[in-house]
Amino acid sequence: MQFHVQNLLGKYYILTTRWTKGFIGKPWFLIAVITCLIFASTTPLLAVEHNIKEYGIVILPEEKCTKVAEKLNQDITKILSHFKNAKNHWHVTLYHGAYDTKYIKEIYNKIKAIELKPFTLNFSKISSTSDRWIDLGTEKTEYLQELHKAIVQLASPYHKRPLDRSKDVYKDMTSVQQKQVDNYGVSGLLELYNPHMTLFYQYPPSSELQQAAKEIAVNFKENMVCKASKIVLGELGYNGNIQKIIYSIDIPN
């Protein structure tokens, strides 16, 4: 920063030594010149940040199971009607990241090159997580864990910064979680991977989600088995909801 300011002052000095008359040498002009030079030097950085968006690489279950998720979500919204119901495509997350938009197709092509096998998603217990999400737990099978690791290895080199939701709670994380955010932009990966399908998103956190989760769990038949239908790359909302699908890859049946 000190070098940068000295460089700016040097440029101003050249101006003032070339033109000693008029308003150029006045103090207010010095402030104006430095302000303009700083703005010009930071504008490219702002432009780069503008091209960074948050995306999710996720699994979509077959339609019969998305209908169950939709019904459970409707039941939750009746209980928590005073909270906003976030737009979402029902999914199980593999990896979330903040990427430069120009690399999204490249990431998609690498995912498409993975030789996918047919597999199922085994859903079990409904619970509230951190008073921010109501989740439908998913069994961490060997294949799902392997697929998660492959996606993290493939996509994490493209990540540009921590996710906004990770930055906002960074200070409250464990050291292991913080290290994952530092390395991958998000926590809950690899050995911490806990697959699930989120049924409701809430921020700021509310303990009311715990009671709502208990109420709807009564009407859910545990151990729902679903075929994995697609892997999609989509735009993320703040809490991890998939707002818009950008690319989709069919999983063999």
DSSP-assigned letters across all residues of 143-179: HHHHHHHHHHHHHGGG--S--HHHHHTGGGS-HHHHH
Backbone dihedral angles phi then psi of residue 100, each to the nearest 5 degrees: -70, 130
Q: What is the pTM of this model?
A: 0.80
The average confidence (pLDDT) of the chain is: 86
Q: Is a pLDDT exceeding 60 seen at residue 180?
A: yes
pLDDT(12) > 60: no
Q: Which amino acid is at 202?
A: Q
CB 159 within 8 A of CB 96: no
* CATH level 3 topology of 53-250: Cyclic Phosphodiesterase; Chain: A, (3.90.1140)
Share of the chain above pLDDT 90, in %: 76
Integer Cα distance of 29 and 12 in angstroms: 10
Asked if pLDDT for residue 38 goes beyond 60, the answer is no
Question: What residue segments make up the domains of the chain, in order of their start?
Answer: 2-47, 53-250
**Alpha-carbon distance 15 to 21, whole Å?**
11
pLDDT given at position 219: 81
Report, as an integer, the average pLDDT of 9-22: 45
Cα separation, 66 vs 60, whole angstroms: 8
